[in-house]
Structure 1
């Protein structure tokens, strides 16, 4: 009864005119406000929880801004930080008040008006917090080079799981232990190793355990120069020389002479690394330094003399179920609870699988949920990694928009852990005619950004390290490559396949090929690709060039991207009469005559010097 009185009181203040009008004329006008006010009471717990999570995210964002905004601070950032401090203070006062109300509630003296007021206030504060979070998108150009404020150590989606507390505490104690110079977090792909590391880094920064924290993603095929550059950028070291060996010496001396406590994180390590080749000090030289690895293989960590290996296991069943329901947004949809429980159980306790499936089912109908459950139950794939693979593949299938699927597969054409330029997706999509009823580049750009938002919401794409770029989780990329090659004859040729791909008869049916120039330039003569529509070749800078007749058997080519600095273009370029998109990295200006013969060319991008590949 008190609850009804509270709602009625609130409505009486807000809509007195409706109460004196004839019911038949104003019944619809009453329904919305009544539902809204009742919602403040029934949704009390959710509103409080949402405010707490968004406020923490805002505080985390401010930490990143404080750390990575360089040079004179703009007035807009100063004002933003003041507003963040103000809302944080109000948030602390709010939660103290909320705690007092709950104490009263738990002693059999419920105060529904107070809970109603708190719920409504929480919703209003959450909107303010979201506005402040959105403002950070304008700070990108002022950030530390190479760091995007939307991704650097931000931990959106992290939940406090009971089963993870002991692991986090163990890692934290290892970080504090000065007798340990290298530790590792080991676990299967998709279990949440990187996410936990990002969460721990925030605590490291809050408690000032280390003066400097540097992070580099290693991946399955390590790029030594990139690893060196990433670590150096965090330390504000400049590596002048392009020679890897000399860079290693500069980095090593910079680390040894830095004079501060440094934590270096090497994420996603697949095999033993040569620390000397990178420029990381040996164990005896790591005074005040500590290295933390994340890896799927504990044996490889042991080879690198990791002194403490901490295993990260999958989520417990109740945690997995709670995470799934939250990500799918069905906390108040009772008829889906049992189906959600079964789907969550099928995900094997792996956060990556849980989140991607749940996001794919959000706001979908009952039939889609039942069909997804049946697909999961009928999966014949065995083993944890294969289970993750099949679950992510199902998330892809849950995408209703075929254009979103194509955009997702386009991202798999780029190297592992690569910042994929959105503009490349626009150019490739236009050339392949992937977008329906789109004939202008700016319309295509709008469409691509919309598709990217959809893919991010499904956790199939991540924020890039820079503005207007996106990234793929390495496991998600593996799934995308498999789908693309199986369903569409799109092939991304990785290192182990470079010498074998020409031996297979299936290459004649390829529609899209992305490959490295390394080791295949002498095999590109006299090849027939009658169905090929997109060819992307990427590698290190200053490649010597391609054979003159390389394009003779690719006359249906629609998109050509040479993301290496070739000293000259093949003479056979003029046979590509169907080419619509051409992206070139060139080292001289002798390309005009060949391009002039491309009668259907619509998009041309010319870059001089070294490619970002």
Structure 2
């Protein structure tokens, strides 16, 4: 009986004991509070990690998972409850001397215990890193479709409805063509159709690609793959096409592919767009398995007409491209706007409210001819113009061979605010389809088009403003991304025509000359060409050569005297070009007396400005030597003793891998050099002065700016002396790239204020000159510091010699930190023969130089010896220099 009673009472007793223990635990207020505090800290750390992952995902365009948002909501609610708990007035009453403190211990301890349990559960439920976000499924090229500016035109409504009905309602039609003259609005129309199809979900996927006269098949494949969410693997064209074809054939819903601006036949199969009768390899495998398994036999593969997948919308200027070359059965013609719609669009672009006068309507008819592109260009050119401007246009006679687009572009061109913007416009017209804005910056900066601009940072800002002005004028269009811009073919052709007629210029694009004007006089000022004959070019000012792969040299020796007015030479992407000019043996010096700007870019065979015919230093011998040793001293410099360019102001070298050095000595022809830009070249030295006599030491009295970029093999910049206009030696990006630099010597540069300049609002970071051994700064009257930007910390782990002499304004080495690990203490002698004085090394260069400055040593030199007598400790010696004659 006792055993039975014991068995019955034991659970009750245990429950009571557990309850009492729990209540006692609640009274342990301080311990429970500390446990809650620790739980909150752990949860806070987890939340910070999730927050960082969420921020990263959002920046990459990904969406946050719903359960992550829910978890963050729970965390926020829990943090609010904890904050409310901490502000509870009962915490103050836990210190009462009467028995009431037990009540508050119990109540607050109980709350803390329960909240700690809840916090631990939330912490344990924290999402894993791979569960934070997901990639958004893109179904269209939104950046392209969002730029559509189609107005509600009555003359466009009918054709839009017909095309939409055919695309959506007729399953038998798989390819539709739209044609019409250039500038009539085909691209705008089909982008509007694509936008409607996307917004109304008439197609699951809408892909858009611009083909142009020189299609880039790889880019077209990327444009189609992007809205499909497909990442094309491999570089092979067939591999990429096969991946794209497989993906399109597996698409369960409707897919609309728009190929805009076809000029000729485009092989859709080569792109990877499935055609009638295409069979997927997977399905073939299934057929084989089916044949082997039983009597049912293979199922016939669906053709393009059988499955729900692809519809293709094509546009072209010519109907026969669609019907004959692309075999499109159904085409639609886009006509010019009727008079009502033309005036409606013109009023919008010209900012005219209300009705237009009859005379103004006549001007629209006269100059625009119903072409939307011409209407936009003319309308923007006449915005806010006076009545006298309108009257002038009305009375102006048109030249017989002028087309409406050329007239409208000429009108906008005439209203551009200055010659600089006009030059930028002409340069844009030379740059092809979807050019990079940064390329335009480099061309304008290199060719000296931008007045008063002396750095790439300033050039970027000015070009950005200029492009916006050209867009506002209707002469330039938005590009496929923020780093590109575009120009309509009609505008480009009109611009080149204007250049030819008004500036005696003619152009060559991609090595093909469409029209070689008859040069009866010598009035040409700008020419962009491939090899030309020895004509008279006495007034030729600019030579620009691009993509002429067979060109060996720019011009013959006998032509030099004919180029008396030549001011600018720009050559790029000519793979066979070996020199600018080939000089006969035993010839006199050649002179380019007015040449001010020289730009060379991506010339893979180029080694020097000139070579000598019959020279013992044969080019093949040089190339063999350079191949064996990339930095051979036998390699010729860019300039030599037989060429003089006395007025050269700007020199730009980009991706010139066979140039080993710019010059071996300093001929008088380079003393007017103001700007030097060298990027992505493999040279170890910019200037080489070894073995030169005193009268040939590098002297650049006019030099104002140097840009060195991606010079990963550079070991020695120069010994810069007497560069009177130089304000800074290098930008921060240049400094970061000088990983091989061993020595730097600068003297007599009166305007130099700092060595390293800040290019923009960069964040705090370290700049390390890992191999720099020697720095010598002498007679720099305005030098304030090595760098004035506070957020840069400099490290010189190999620095052994630092000479600073006659730099009266240099109170600190840098405004940020500066460390040189091998420098430990300072020794100085005020006069020769006097006892040396010592300063304690202050830990970095800034503190040490500040200490010396405070002792009023405004003229000093600092020398770092490799080691003291014991061979271990390095030291810094400061000696008062004897006067030096200037």
Q: In which range does the TM-score fall when normalised by the shorter chain?
A: 0.5 to 0.7
Match of 2:654 among 584, 591, 599: 584
Q: Once the 2 structures are TM-superposed, how far is the Cα of residue 583 of structure 1 from its aligned partner?
A: 5.4
Matched, 1:70 2:91: no
Q: Residue in 2 aligned with 1:502?
A: 531
Matched, 1:310 2:332: yes
Contact 2:446/2:599 (8 A) holds in 1: no
Match of 2:422 among 405, 411, 418: 405
Match of 1:181 among 174, 184, 187: 174
Residues 378-457 of structure 1: pairs in structure 2 closer than 5 A: 378-381=398-401, 386-415=403-432, 417-421=433-437, 423-457=438-472
Distance 2:218 2:477 in 1: 23
Distance 2:591 2:357 in 1: 53
Please give the secondary structure, in 1, of the residue aligned with 2:274.
Answer: coil
Please give the secondary structure, in 2, of the residue aligned with 1:566.
Answer: coil
Distance 1:268 1:554 in 2: 48
Q: Residue in 2 aligned with 1:230?
A: 223
Greater helix percent: which structure? 1
Please give the secondary structure, in 2, of the residue aligned with 1:291.
Answer: strand
Decide which moves more: 391-400 or 190-199.
391-400
Q: What stretches of structure 2 of length at least 5 have no aligned partner?
A: 1-57, 70-134, 279-303, 517-529, 584-589, 611-637, 683-886
Distance 1:291 1:551 in 2: 55
Q: Residue in 2 aligned with 1:602?
A: 675
Distance 2:551 2:261 in 1: 31
Count residues in correspondence. 459
Distance 1:275 1:295 in 2: 15
Q: Once the 2 structures are TM-superposed, how far is the Cα of residue 266 of structure 1 from its aligned partner?
A: 1.0
Contact 1:324/1:355 (8 A) holds in 2: yes
C-alpha change, 1:257 and 1:156, in structure 2 (3 Å) is closer
Match of 1:256 among 249, 253, 259: 249
Match of 1:342 among 348, 359, 362: 362
Q: Once the 2 structures are TM-superposed, how far is the Cα of residue 554 of structure 1 from its aligned partner?
A: 10
Q: Residue in 2 aligned with 1:369?
A: 390
Q: Residue in 2 aligned with 1:158?
A: 150
Distance 2:544 2:224 in 1: 33
C-alpha change, 1:561 and 1:202, in structure 2 (3 Å) is farther
Please give the secondary structure, in 1, of the residue aligned with 2:531.
Answer: helix
Distance 1:320 1:514 in 2: 41
Matched, 1:290 2:311: yes
Distance 1:393 1:144 in 2: 45
Q: Once the 2 structures are TM-superposed, how far is the Cα of residue 431 of structure 1 from its aligned partner?
A: 3.6
Please give the secondary structure, in 2, of the residue aligned with 1:435.
Answer: coil
Contact 2:225/2:232 (8 A) holds in 1: yes
Q: Residue in 2 aligned with 1:201?
A: 194
Q: Once the 2 structures are TM-superposed, how far is the Cα of residue 511 of structure 1 from its aligned partner?
A: 1.7
Listed one character per residue, the Cα deviations across residues 357-401 of structure 1 (whole Å, up to 9, x for unaligned) are 0001101222222222333x524236xxx3223322222222232
C-alpha change, 1:430 and 1:523, in structure 2 (3 Å) is closer
Please give the secondary structure, in 1, of the residue aligned with 2:679.
Answer: strand
Matched, 1:359 2:380: yes
C-alpha change, 1:435 and 1:557, in structure 2 (3 Å) is closer
Contact 1:215/1:231 (8 A) holds in 2: yes
Q: Once the 2 structures are TM-superposed, how far is the Cα of residue 472 of structure 1 from its aligned partner?
A: 1.0
C-alpha change, 1:366 and 1:606, in structure 2 (3 Å) is same
Contact 2:221/2:244 (8 A) holds in 1: yes
Q: Once the 2 structures are TM-superposed, how far is the Cα of residue 549 of structure 1 from its aligned partner?
A: 4.3
C-alpha change, 1:492 and 1:241, in structure 2 (3 Å) is farther
Distance 1:554 1:472 in 2: 39
Decide which moves more: 237-246 or 465-474.
237-246
Contact 1:491/1:510 (8 A) holds in 2: no
Per the normalisation by structure 2, the TM-score is: 0.47
Distance 1:494 1:432 in 2: 19
Contact 2:430/2:509 (8 A) holds in 1: no
Listed one character per residue, the Cα deviations across residues 64-92 of structure 1 (whole Å, up to 9, x for unaligned) are xxx99732469xxx9xxxxxxxxxxxxxx
Distance 2:61 2:364 in 1: 44
Match of 2:572 among 532, 537, 546: 537
Q: CA RMSD in A?
A: 3.7
Q: Residue in 2 aligned with 1:169?
A: 161
Q: Once the 2 structures are TM-superposed, how far is the Cα of residue 264 of structure 1 from its aligned partner?
A: 1.4
Contact 1:419/1:465 (8 A) holds in 2: no
Please give the secondary structure, in 2, of the residue aligned with 1:521.
Answer: coil
Please give the secondary structure, in 2, of the residue aligned with 1:362.
Answer: coil
Q: Once the 2 structures are TM-superposed, how far is the Cα of residue 343 of structure 1 from its aligned partner?
A: 1.7
Q: Once the 2 structures are TM-superposed, how far is the Cα of residue 196 of structure 1 from its aligned partner?
A: 0.7
Contact 1:317/1:349 (8 A) holds in 2: yes
Per the normalisation by structure 1, the TM-score is: 0.66
Please give the secondary structure, in 1, of the residue aligned with 2:61.
Answer: coil
Q: What stretches of structure 1 of length at least 5 have no aligned partner?
A: 1-66, 79-141
Contact 1:489/1:512 (8 A) holds in 2: no
Distance 1:264 1:561 in 2: 41
Listed one character per residue, the Cα deviations across residues 432-482 of structure 1 (whole Å, up to 9, x for unaligned) are 333344445444433322222211111111122222432111221122222
Contact 2:511/2:547 (8 A) holds in 1: no
Listed one character per residue, the Cα deviations across residues 256-304 of structure 1 (whole Å, up to 9, x for unaligned) are 3444432211111111222233333224443410111111000010121
Distance 1:284 1:294 in 2: 24
Matched, 1:593 2:614: no
Matched, 1:560 2:599: yes
Q: Once the 2 structures are TM-superposed, how far is the Cα of residue 605 of structure 1 from its aligned partner?
A: 5.5
Q: Residue in 1 aligned with 2:486?
A: 471
Please give the secondary structure, in 2, of the residue aligned with 1:356.
Answer: helix
Please give the secondary structure, in 2, of the residue aligned with 1:459.
Answer: coil
Q: Residue in 2 aligned with 1:483?
A: 498
Distance 2:398 2:263 in 1: 31
Q: Once the 2 structures are TM-superposed, how far is the Cα of residue 427 of structure 1 from its aligned partner?
A: 3.3
Please give the secondary structure, in 2, of the residue aligned with 1:214.
Answer: strand
Q: Which has the higher contact order (CA 8 A, sep 6+)?
A: 1
C-alpha change, 1:209 and 1:484, in structure 2 (3 Å) is same
Distance 2:257 2:568 in 1: 43
Residues 269-288 of structure 1: pairs in structure 2 closer than 5 A: 269-285=262-278, 286=304, 287=307, 288=309
Match of 1:459 among 470, 474, 492: 474
C-alpha change, 1:257 and 1:157, in structure 2 (3 Å) is closer
Distance 2:233 2:607 in 1: 31
Distance 2:336 2:458 in 1: 43
Listed one character per residue, the Cα deviations across residues 161-189 of structure 1 (whole Å, up to 9, x for unaligned) are 00110000011012112211111110000
Please give the secondary structure, in 1, of the residue aligned with 2:210.
Answer: strand
Distance 2:372 2:219 in 1: 28
Q: Once the 2 structures are TM-superposed, how far is the Cα of residue 160 of structure 1 from its aligned partner?
A: 0.6
C-alpha change, 1:205 and 1:380, in structure 2 (3 Å) is same
Q: Once the 2 structures are TM-superposed, how far is the Cα of residue 245 of structure 1 from its aligned partner?
A: 4.1
Match of 1:218 among 211, 214, 218: 211
